[in-house]
Amino acid sequence: MARIKIELPEKFIFQTEIPIRITDLNYGGHLGNDAVLSICQEARVRFLHNLGYSESDVEGVGIIMIDSAIQYKSEGFYGDELIIEVAVNDFTVIGCDIVYRLTNKKSNKEVAIAKTGIVFFNYDKRKTAPVPLQFKEKIERLN
């Protein structure tokens, strides 16, 4: 079976720290696969907030996650502080990819890398919308 391969960008444009909570653990006592996506969402919300946006309002339109991929690199445990780095790439007419690198702050070991594909969505019209030019320009300036 072919494995997912996420290519990391040369530069990450945002970083935040998030601790692993007790509710993020699975029956094996380590960070659960479902929690990684939840941690990525929290990092994405913080990233957008840093740019003056929210998931429901990026220059007047919202975003919808259309796909996701995660590569697990090492275990994470309760109380570990994760550094989550965020990058944006692969713009299309209606969307882009957001890439995340989760690293254990203490050991500096990669815990996971992930990618979420997003499209911009006009909730009033119930249809996709073009990538807002101001958003794309902000990202290009940060890169």
pLDDT digit string, tens, across residues 16-67: 999 999 999 999 999 999 999 999 999 999 999 999 999 999 999 999 999 9
Separation between Cα atoms, residue 26 and residue 110, nearest integer Å: 19
Mean pLDDT score across all residues of the chain: 97
The band of 80, judged by pLDDT with boundaries at 50, 70 and 90, is: very high
115-119: average pLDDT? 98
pTM for this entry: 0.95
118-134: average pLDDT? 97
In the chain, what percentage of residues exceed pLDDT 90?
97
113 within 8 A of 99, measured Cβ to Cβ:
yes
Compute the 3-state secondary structure of the chain and give helix, strand, coil in percent, each to the nearest 5: 20, 40, 40
Alpha helices in 2-90 (DSSP H): 33-50
The band of 4, judged by pLDDT with boundaries at 50, 70 and 90, is: confident
Mapped onto helix, strand or coil, the DSSP state of residue 66 is strand
What is the C-alpha R_g of the chain?
A: 16
What is the model's pLDDT at position 126? Answer: 96
Q: CATH number for the 14-134 domain, one of 3.10.129.10, 3.30.70.520, 3.30.540.10, 3.10.20.90?
A: 3.10.129.10
Structural domain boundaries in the chain = 14-134
